[in-house]
Amino acid sequence: MDETRRAFLEDLLAARGPSGHETAAQRAWVEYVGEYADRVETDAYGNAVAVHEGGDTSVAFAGHADEIGFAVSEISGDGFLRISPVGGLDKTVTRGSQIRIETDDGPVNGVVGQAAVHLRGKKDEGVPSVTEQHVDIGAADEDEARDLVSVGDPGIVVAETQDLAGSRLNARGLDNRAGLWVAAEGFRRAVANDVDATVYAVSTVQEELGTKGAKMVAFDLDADAVVAVDVTHAADDPNYPADRASEVALGDGPTVTRGAANHPEVVAELREAAENGDLPLQVEAQRLTTGTDADAFFTAQGGVPTANLGVPNRYMHTPAEVVDTADLTAGADLLAAFAARASDRDSFAVEF
């Protein structure tokens, strides 16, 4: 990953954007793709679509901009806060964590309280729900706390982005800034290659709340095929459960999923693009749903051929998320190759 592409990834990771409050992430994304697009369109909720005008065949590469987080739900008389999860916030990682609350007047720092190990007995070792945990922002009392924050203010768990060995990267929010980067970079590379197809890059909001933004975009996005890029569970670490069979590993390339929402023609085209371009691509089996924006796109407008491209990710929905940046680069190259091949197709419909 060259310096410019890495800077874009870091800009995405630095932007704080819990579901429903994605403005900072969307601003970084639009600023980047806008340099390569013929136009960028946004809607009332903040979904963004970049367009490269090409041939009659059109493809879309989509990623979601939001991340898991929380909202302030109560300010107590002694100046502590209670919070409610926004998306799949993990109660086992919030307690004892640093957090940042986004207010109208700027960020406010805090911590989720955790009693010292010296003070806890065996009866205290259970993990309370996120809503039962308390936040300390340093306020002396309720009046000071209310001067700093308001009920409804969103926030995230804070974690520093850091490089690990080789091309591995740790950061909070890699779900799904990694997929968002791949979709934007696949778009940029397709434009640079002057593909003879119309290409859309899509950045959606509120995926963590049930693919809400993708449903809005899919209502009128005129694409012949959609590739939704999101993180997927890597199975190559000691914590991966033995009863969830998978061959997905970091560094072996992105994944394409077979089954259910994943259209066989789109999947086949991705696999052939990888094979012909000598690009790494892993295959994983579909369970009931993808759990990604693909679930919204494929049922829109009577059915849009869609596939889910996965970025292998360890420790999802924690501040310890880890990806291999080589998988991101391979994913972007694959999308560009897919766009080039799509220009030779009239349709992705299943043939009988």
> What pLDDT is recorded for position 303?
93
Catalytic residue among 67, 207, 269, 284: 207
Task: Report residue 142's pLDDT band, with 50, 70 and 90 as the boundaries.
Answer: very high
**Residues placed in the known binding site for Zn(2+):** 64, 175, 208, 230, 317
Are 103 and 17 contacting, i.e. CB atoms less than 8 angstroms apart?
no
> What pLDDT is recorded for position 115?
80
Are 196 and 54 contacting, i.e. CB atoms less than 8 angstroms apart?
yes
Rounded to an integer, the average pLDDT of 50-56 is 95
Burial 83-107 (b: 16+ CB within 10 A, else e): bebbbebbeebbbebebebbeeeee
Higher pLDDT, 122 or 100: 100
Residue 200 CB coordination number (10 Å): 22
Q: Is 277 in a helix, a strand, or coil? A: coil
Q: Is 330 in a helix, a strand, or coil? A: helix
d(CA 107, CA 99) in angstroms, rounded, equals: 10
**Pair type for strands 154-157 and 69-75:** antiparallel
Provide, rounded to the nearest whole percent, the portion of the chain with pLDDT above 90: 89
Task: Report residue 120's pLDDT band, with 50, 70 and 90 as the boundaries.
Answer: confident
94-113 pLDDT tens trace: 999 999 999 999 999 999 99
> Residue with structure tokens 């970079």?
185
Rounded to an integer, the average pLDDT of 46-74 is 97
d(CA 294, CA 67) in angstroms, rounded, equals: 17
Quote the pTM value.
Answer: 0.95
d(CA 76, CA 57) in angstroms, rounded, equals: 57
Annotation marks residue 185 as catalytic: no
> What pLDDT is recorded for position 289?
86
Q: Quick one: residue 57, left, alpha or beta (phi over 0 = left, psi -120 to 50 = alpha)?
A: beta
CATH for 3-67+172-342 (3.30.720.120, 1.25.40.10, 3.40.630.10, 3.30.460.10):
3.40.630.10
216-248 pLDDT tens trace: 999 999 999 999 999 999 999 999 998 888 999
CATH for 69-157 (2.40.30.40, 3.40.190.10, 3.40.1130.10, 3.40.50.300):
2.40.30.40
Rounded to an integer, the average pLDDT of 254-281 is 96
**Pair type for strands 198-204 and 58-64:** parallel
Q: Write down the domain spans for the chain.
A: 3-67+172-342, 69-157
> What pLDDT is recorded for position 80?
97
Residue 119 has pLDDT above 80, yes or no: no
> Residue with structure tokens 């890495």?
6
Q: Which token pair is 320?
A: 């310890």
> What pLDDT is recorded for position 124?
65
> What pLDDT is recorded for position 193?
96
Residue 121 has pLDDT above 90, yes or no: no
Residue 141 CB coordination number (10 Å): 11
**Residues placed in the known binding site:** 64, 175, 208, 230, 317
> What pLDDT is recorded for position 315?
96
> What pLDDT is recorded for position 350?
85
Task: Report residue 133's pLDDT band, with 50, 70 and 90 as the boundaries.
Answer: very high
Q: What residues are paired with 200 via a beta bridge?
A: 51, 60
> What pLDDT is recorded for position 349?
87
175-221 pLDDT tens trace: 999 999 999 999 999 999 999 999 999 999 999 999 999 999 999 99
Are 60 and 223 contacting, i.e. CB atoms less than 8 angstroms apart?
yes
